[in-house]
Amino acid sequence: MVSFPPCKINLGLHVINKRPDGYHNLETCFYPVPWTDILEIIHSKTFGFSSSGIAIPGAWEQNLCVKAYRLLADQFSLPPISIHLHKVIPMGAGLGGGSSDAAHLMRMLNDMFELNLSQEVMMQFAASTGSDTAFFIQDDPMLGKGRGEILSRINIDLPGKFLVLVNPDIHVSTADAYAGVKPGNPAVPLDDILKLPLDDWKNLLKNDFEHAVFEKYPAIGDIKDKLYSLGATYASMSGSGATVFGIFEKDFEAAIKFPNTTVWVGTL
């Protein structure tokens, strides 16, 4: 069984306050993007995990796919499988690729072993593996609150728009990103902003991580400026970085505009 886990961008990201458990309450819109990894699972006599494509650092036992399998295997006494992950989505890039891989593995296990789990139940399992993993259990834009695991549907009308994702070779630690943020309630709720025309987003739709990240890594802020200079209607950093995206009214050859980066271009 093969699946193609997509990534996501954040349309706005507000850091509201710090919680007693050390996490932060957030407000963001997760929007799915069809830049995908490739995930395959097959029946096997013994459990196995392998990967190709972008090298995955660390021990394979710590991979979110392995953790997701073991979570459901322990709960439902699943037999062993063999997992192969072909990694395409850059890691540590604010795109949620690892979370998507884990969520899609759960979705595949649900189908392969006929567990008949509802989306709501799978989301509960997924939330235990990561703050944004639950979002990838379904395929629609969602408003995320809490750590990002409290999800509700939101209607966003972006058909026919072109998306450019630019990922520089810069690692932004989540700790550094949070260290520069001053939490607070936004002046305008995120869902109210997203109801406005795309042309109005530039001055209203903010990612609270940008100020500190751009100050420490000016090259990331330069990418956002360049996307606007090339005609983006809206541009922003995704998550805590370092990927920056631009939404355009028409397509163009973006790769040649951003040397020494990984660029993806597609339609929304």
Counting beta carbons within 10 angstroms of the beta carbon of residue 33, is it exposed (0 to 12), middle (13 to 18) or buried (19 or more)?
buried
Q: What is the DSSP string of 145-161?
A: EETTTEEEE-----TT-
Q: Please pick, among 37, 87, 101, 132, the residue that the annotation labels catalytic.
A: 132
Cα gap 14→235, rounded to integer Å? 16
Cα gap 6→104, rounded to integer Å? 9
Q: Please pick, among 8, 87, 206, 224, the residue that the annotation labels catalytic.
A: 8
Q: What is the DSSP string of 11-23?
A: EEEEEEEE-TTS-
Residue 132 is a catalytic residue: yes
Of 127, 221, 164, nearest in space to 9 by CA: 164
Residue 202 is a catalytic residue: no
Cα gap 99→137, rounded to integer Å? 10
- Please report the beta strands in 147-210, taking only residues with DSSP state E, as ranges in sequence order: 150-153, 162-168
CA dihedral 190, 192, 198, 200 (to 10 degrees): -90
Of 174, 131, 178, nearest in space to 17 by CA: 178
Q: What angle do CA 15, 17, 19 make, to 5 degrees?
A: 125
Task: Cite the active site residues.
Answer: 8, 132
